[in-house]
Structure 1
């Protein structure tokens, strides 16, 4: 299984022969391009033409984030998995209200199930989440249900944190340490979901729960949300309660952000979580959580082609 590569310093990606290097005034570090799924840049990083060519040959995207961890954009190699039939079917299901509602409601059911799975793993009260019905006659109404789920989840989640206060979700910029980590984690998960969607035949800009917008791959938002509670929020809880992340891991300017040391701790733990293997109940084999995102895409493709009814992932770990 290929792994993500994270860059937390200013520099450049360059090609020397058939090797990709990260270069700045202090170091020249090779990047194992053949075992890299994508590159995440949290500081300004330039790409030489040689690096772009090599990244394209190896089909490795590069995702860029600002200092608060917000996604800014990507270098995306030419699509490697293309199917006109799937894209047409995907557009048809987006345009048909009933078909879109089925898929959108499944996304919300998956989000709800992941919230419950995390709370159960902590022996916390999950009934306020379980009691919210996933109902709606439009994607906008389902987005309202999702908002209610997150509101309840944040309240329950805050009681599990031992060393940082967390009362509400805030951003642009985050006003506290937990919100800073949520912003970084959500953005990375979005980038990972985008990378995995590209390995299926799905078009990442045709979504079902979120509205498609220019300059945003909204299907990645749809699919990433299913996995946030059991990846991003699980990692934050572990790091905070074990005191692996502390006050000195943050900078406070306009808002709060992880400093370089804190970012390395956080990204290492998140990367490990995404690579963690769980026994898949249907396939009866161990698969990484990252690969589950791709399997979610494959399940959606089967639904679009009429080979089975899409049911979103119900997290069990």
Structure 2
């Protein structure tokens, strides 16, 4: 089974025969290239052109993060699976305003359904979230009546505002408080943790897109422009609540990540290395967890679920089956 390499320490990354060598200050570790899905680089890591060529040959994506966990960018190897037919279908659905809006709405509907499932989970565990659930449900009913992407994004933004406000109720037995959602830069620990988790979901989806016929540059909810990738942002909307947010709640409610895992620089709140390591450990554990998939009638992992979602999207684009986003049942 392939796995993700997370590199937090400083060092070197290079090819050694048919393995990936990670050299730190005290030791070297070797990983068979066939066992590596992608690499997340957080530390100051040196690599050379030879290694980049090796990664391209073996279809390994590298995701780069700044010193405090902010996403910087990705090395996306030359596409091996792109299909001209699928790309044309992606473009057709983007250029046709009705079909684009339909797909974008489906992404938002999936996101809202999973946000609702998260809130219901904690409501069933004693949190008073009825007002938030009611407000979100009222706005959700308007999704079918929007007539433009701009209206859809504005409505989604209002829904997400109520959703994020509910975090304070869910986390009322912790020292963490979310006053407002601030992304660039995060102004408090909770914002820093939300942004870090979302970045992991964005990049995980990007890795999975690479293994399909889809082109990540053509999104629907997020406008396709000179930004390098947008489709992964669309699909990530569905998974952020059940991947990133559930991991966040687990870590904070169990007091695994603490206040001293953050530091403040001016008005910016930053997640320290220990916090990033703890988050990644819980996040990867979530991805390897399996559940019974009702439609497939078999157990699948959350890691596999992302690829399955992309296959459903491909079928929608070629007219085989209408895309229905995954909705968690628990």
| Interval containing the TM-score (normalised by the shorter chain) | over 0.9
Which blocks of at least 5 consecutive residues in structure 1 are unaligned? Answer: none
Match of 2:71 in 1: 71
Could you tell me how far apart the structure 2 residues matched to 1:215 and 1:6 are?
A: 25
SS at match of 2:320: coil
Query: Contact 1:90 / 1:206 at 8 angstroms: preserved in 2?
Result: yes
Could you tell me how far apart the structure 1 residues matched to 2:9 and 2:270 are?
A: 15
Query: Contact 2:68 / 2:273 at 8 angstroms: preserved in 1?
Result: no
Q: Deviations over 1:17-39 (max 9, x none)?
A: 11111223333222343222111
Match of 2:154 in 1: 144
Which blocks of at least 5 consecutive residues in structure 2 are unaligned? Answer: 124-128
Match of 1:198 in 2: 210
How far the C-alpha of 1:256 sits from its partner, in A, is: 1.5
Matches for 1:1-317 after TM superposition, within 5 Å: 1-123=1-123, 124-125=129-130, 126-132=133-139, 133=141, 134=143, 135-161=145-171, 162-163=173-174, 164-254=176-266, 255-317=268-330
Query: Contact 2:18 / 2:32 at 8 angstroms: preserved in 1?
Result: no
Query: Contact 2:69 / 2:276 at 8 angstroms: preserved in 1?
Result: no
How far the C-alpha of 1:310 sits from its partner, in A, is: 1.3
SS at match of 2:39: strand
Match of 2:126 in 1: none
How far the C-alpha of 1:41 sits from its partner, in A, is: 1.1
Query: Contact 1:110 / 1:315 at 8 angstroms: preserved in 2?
Result: no
How far the C-alpha of 1:257 sits from its partner, in A, is: 1.4
How far the C-alpha of 1:258 sits from its partner, in A, is: 1.5
Could you tell me how far apart the structure 2 residues matched to 1:91 and 1:180 are?
A: 35
- Normalised TM-score (structure 1): 0.95
Count of aligned positions: 317
